[in-house]
């Protein structure tokens, strides 16, 4: 699927769904954003990162989406229009595809009810997903293993722990009604590992 295939309207409008670092750091211009969810996918720290949050020797762990009919994933969708469409796709191709190993898919995004008058109807959105056949895919591990790995890794964008904590903070602040046991178990495990790192210095 080409991202341009889901651009709609005369003005050329495109929604982009973020469920990882995009929720707090989109780094592209957009018309508006909405908190909401997609269905049929679960968010997991199963993807490796040897650029943004790790390196070749110590790859970090970042989130990807795994198909699961009974699951849903919460995040933020950004609407880009006009020239923003090409600019955002060009930027995200480097950030997510070239450096991250993510591919694109079209999904239905369900906005959360916000201000009165805001449309809650689902919209088609572009999402970046890293699959199991990706060379950087690390796969499942226990929260303790993932948390320890995240606690020690750092890449060109910053510490892997920052990525984890910012994502957990977003969920608590913007989606307080949503339980995310995978995310919060890894957060707890990573924070429990930090004193051992400090003691070893």
The number of CA neighbours under 13 Å toward the Cβ of 62 is: 35
Q: Which is catalytic among the residues 67, 79, 96, 115?
A: 96
Cβ–Cβ < 8 Å for 3, 14: yes
Q: What is the dihedral of CA 110, 78, 68, 181, to 10 degrees?
A: -100
Integer Cα distance of 126 and 77 in angstroms:
9
Integer Cα distance of 109 and 57 in angstroms:
37
Catalytic residue check, 116: no
Q: Any idea which residues carry the catalytic annotation? A: 96
């Amino acid at each position: 699927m080409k991202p341009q295939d889901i651009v709609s309207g005369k003005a050329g409008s495109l929604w982009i769904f973020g469920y990882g670092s995009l929720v707090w750091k989109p780094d592209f211009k957009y018309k508006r954003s909405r908190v909401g969810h997609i269905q049929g996918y679960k968010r997991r720290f199963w993807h490796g990162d040897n650029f943004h949050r790790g390196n070749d020797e110590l790859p970090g762990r970042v989130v990807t989406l795994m198909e699961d009919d009974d699951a849903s994933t919460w995040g933020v969708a950004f609407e880009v229009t006009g020239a923003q469409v090409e600019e955002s796709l060009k930027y995200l191709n480097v950030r997510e595809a070239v450096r991250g190993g993510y591919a694109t898919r079209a999904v239905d995004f369900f906005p959360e009810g916000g201000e009165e008058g805001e449309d809650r109807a689902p919209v088609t959105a572009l999402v970046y997903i890293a699959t199991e056949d990706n060379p950087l895919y690390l796969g499942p591990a226990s929260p303790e293993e993932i948390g320890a790995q995240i606690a020690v890794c750092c890449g060109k964008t910053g510490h892997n722990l920052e990525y984890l904590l910012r994502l957990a903070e977003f969920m608590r602040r913007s989606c307080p009604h949503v339980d995310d046991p995978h995310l919060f178990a890894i957060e707890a495990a990573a924070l429990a590992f930090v004193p051992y790192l400090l003691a070893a210095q």
